[in-house]
Structure 1
Amino acid sequence: MDHISSHLACDLPLNGVSEDMDLLHIDVEAEVVDTKPGRDEALCSKNVLRKQRHWEKQIAAKKSRRKEEKQRRKQNREEESASTAEIPHFTKRVMKAITRERLIGAQATGLKLCVDLSMTDSMSDKEISRLAGQLRRLYGSNRKASRPFHLFLTDLKEGSRLYKECLRMNDGFLNYMMDVTDGSFLSLFSTETIVYLTPDAESALETVEADRVYVLGGLVDESIQKKLSLSRARELSVCTARLPIDEYMVKKNNPKNFYSKILAINQVFDILLKFCNTGSWTEALQMWFPQGKGYVVAQEAS
């Protein structure tokens, strides 16, 4: 018994020392491990700060663009209100009849604008959907215009992806007051009268003439294949022109350093409408050229 007791007594202190050593070992390891996260946290903090500053710049840029767009819309509303202040108010039924008569008149004597839809086969479903939306907005602008264009849609084949998407997205598409054909615009108009509008043309459009037919390439290209509409026009041997952006606009500083002269077909159409009503490219570009494209009307032009 004494031998067993003494043996246990000898083990107890050793176990205690062993536990203390284990604890000491753990503390040392903890101190060693803790030194690494400190450096990692410092690096992490720098990355977080850098990302935060970048995010804040993006937010500030978006707020600035929204503010500019809001001011421009306000200005547009004020101008529209001023232009219609003396016009008597009619019921919706009467206004619909007036609009219809105006569009019928345009089909007889209005300026001619055609959307060439022959390049849709190479477009994705998403691009087709965007193009259908642009056609809806283009037609909506023409309905509201005091002097609407005579509109044509060419190479729009019944049953095609674009045709089906127009039916799906645009209520009353089949009743749109425009000429629609599955043939080429060359079957409707003589080559000498056609002006194909493309951002890559050398010559700037100076005016809009009654004896000309202005053609827009119905193209939404998210992969940005350059000069597609220009190649199309050259293939058909027709005259080309571009909006006079270089003549009336300059680049402005923007956080993304982004500049583009490529516009949606409804945006080009709104600029043409405004020019035809005012005779001023400055006013037309100032009102309808998108702020996010990185250009503003030059001060000397305004």
Structure 2
Amino acid sequence: MASKYTDTTAENCGIKEPPTEIVNSGTIEVLKDESCILEKKDTEPEPIIGVKSVPEPIIGVKSVPEPITEDVDSGTKEPPVKLSKRAKREKRWERNRNRQREKRREEKKRRNRNKREAGVKTRRTLMSDVMSSKINVAIDCTYNQLMNEREREGLAKQIKYCYSSNRSSPSPLQLHIFGYSNGVIDTLARSCPEHSSWDIYRHNGEITEVFSTNHITYLTADSSNLITELSTDRCYVIGGLLDHNRHKGACLERADKMGLSHGRLGLDEVVELSGRAVLAINHVFDILLRYSSCKDWKEAIISCLPPRKISSIRTADQSESEEKSQKD
């Protein structure tokens, strides 16, 4: 008796199946069989040469447009940027700057021409007029090796103050700078670029090469010689040294080494100083400049010293009593 689940396939009945023929035709794979033909597409199609693939847009994501840039080949430009009011004003000022500068220059020339016609001396005429003052004052800038960079910058600043005071004075002194090439010119070039147009005397050599040894007085607070007046046939030298009293007596030592006479200003006879008796270079120059016009040491010293340096002003009786005690 045959089973209910009898296998009636061709293999069990002893019949062989014909071989399956596989044909590859590009993107279609054909399977031939007696009972069916199956067609199957490849999952990865071959790319087409010359056509750039474009990615499909992602659903739900908003595309961001690329920024507009200047294309050199096509000649397209970026859209113009809108300037602010301040930028427009600065651009307009830059455009008219040269014209305004030329206008101011012409106006200054016209004023100076009117002053010359009226007989009024201009500031440049006063500075270059040798008859304005025959008193020579020099700043000795040969102490470059004793100062650091910060002190050299302070020296250049004080020289600038001296020139400014001399320029604004109705009777300017004859200002000399010795040792000009000894690092001073480099420091002045950084702190004051317009120093090349100053109306001063510049010397690279020693003081004795310009003035006679018998006509030079070196000013130093360490000297015991008191200067009572300024002579027009002498040159008064101020030591260009900013060392905060590290090299005490350096100016006096240099004066003795060069065989020069030395002296000090009568500060102790006029005021009582609070602190050291060493003054800045521009303060010493201002005192000499003031005395050359007023001929009064007390007025010159009190008006030129900063108030922080003056502890009290001496009276005439105090000065006389101190002079008597020193003589005794």
- Shorter-chain TM range is 0.5 to 0.7
Q: 5 Å matches for 1:93-172?
A: 94=112, 98-106=122-130, 110-157=134-181, 160-172=182-194
Which of residues 257, 266, 283 is equivalent to 2:299?
A: 283
Compare relative contact order (CA 8 Å, sep 6+) and give the higher one, 1 or 2.
1
Task: Point out the structure with the larger helix share.
Answer: 1
Structure 2: stretches of 5+ with no match in the other structure: 1-106, 320-328
Shift of 1:162: 2.4
Which of residues 249, 261, 266 is equivalent to 2:282?
A: 266
Shift of 1:293: 2.6
Read off the aligned partner of 1:263 and give its amino acid letter. L
Instruction: Work out the CA distance in 2 between the residues paired with 1:148 and 1:222.
Output: 29
Shift of 1:222: 2.6
Closer, same or farther: CA 108–270 of 1 in aligned 2, 3 Å: closer
Which of residues 249, 267, 270 is equivalent to 1:227?
A: 249
Instruction: Work out the CA distance in 2 between the residues paired with 1:122 and 1:107.
Output: 37
Instruction: Work out the CA distance in 1 between the residues paired with 2:208 and 2:304.
Output: 30
Cα pair 1:110 1:147 within 8 Å, conserved: no
TM-score, length-scaled by structure 1: 0.63
**RMSD (Å) for aligned C-alpha atoms:** 2.4
Deviations 1:180-239 (A, max 9, x none): 111011100000000101111101110111111111111101353211111111111101
TM-score, length-scaled by structure 2: 0.58
Which of residues 205, 222, 225 is equivalent to 1:183?
A: 205
Deviations 1:62-108 (A, max 9, x none): xxxxxxxxxxxxxxxxxxxxxxxxxxxx9795389711111111388
Cα pair 1:267 1:288 within 8 Å, conserved: yes
Cα pair 1:259 1:294 within 8 Å, conserved: no
Instruction: Work out the CA distance in 2 between the residues paired with 1:107 and 1:173.
Output: 24
Cα pair 1:107 1:149 within 8 Å, conserved: no
Instruction: Work out the CA distance in 2 between the residues paired with 1:261 and 1:295.
Output: 12
Which runs of 4 or more aligned residues in structure 1 lie more than 6 Å from their structure 2 counterparts after TM superposition?
none
Q: State the number of aligned residues.
A: 205
Instruction: Work out the CA distance in 2 between the residues paired with 1:136 and 1:107.
Output: 23
Aligned-pair identity (%): 28
Instruction: Work out the CA distance in 2 between the residues paired with 1:226 and 1:210.
Output: 29
